[in-house]
Amino acid sequence: MTIFHKIIRREIPADIVYEDEHLIAFRDIGPQAPVHVLFVPKQDYATLNDVPEDAPEIIGRLALAAARYAKAQGFDKDGYRIVMNCNEHGGQTVYQIHLHLLAGAPLGRFGTPA
């Protein structure tokens, strides 16, 4: 079980901004932009590699929930970034898939090797 499962179960606190039967969204504890929210499905998949080909809705729901949140908060026109890190080279540290929403200021370039 990951820290995100504990947040879903309300075993540890988080600043939850959205929840439905499929997913939960809460503020990242170490924000890397003025707005940094994590969108996490309630189904268990460690990485994007583990999502079955016949279940694209899992990823679609995360992306559309992030877009909806950005629109509701007024970030849609100025723009925002969504990111999914996968495994070591992608910088993944929590092994329950999640999508980052970063917004609230112009974001720097990304993808430079560490």
Alpha helix (H) ranges present in the chain? 3-8, 57-73, 87-90
CA neighbours closer than 13 Å in the CB half-sphere of residue 2: 17
Distance CA 67, CA 82 (A): 9
Among 25, 26, 40, 75, binds ligand 5GP (CB under 6 A): 26
Distance CA 67, CA 42 (A): 19
Q: Is residue 100 annotated as a catalytic residue, yes or no?
A: no
In the set 5, 36, 98, 100, the catalytic residue is: 98
**60 lies in the binding site for ligand 5GP (CB under 6 A):** no
Stretch that binds ligand 5GP, among 20-28, 43-51, 60-68, 106-114 (CB under 6 A): 20-28
Question: Exactly one of 42, 81, 92, 107 binds ligand 5GP (CB under 6 A); which one?
Answer: 92
Question: Does 76 interact with ligand 5GP (rule: CB under 6 A)?
Answer: no
Instruction: Give the gyration radius of the chain's Cα atoms.
Output: 14
Among 5, 17, 18, 28, binds ligand 5GP (CB under 6 A): 28
E strand or H helix at 35: strand 35-41
Q: Look up residue 23 and give its amino acid.
A: L
- The residues annotated with a catalytic role in the active site are 98
Contact footprint for ligand 5GP (CB under 6 A): 3, 14, 26-30, 38, 85, 91-94
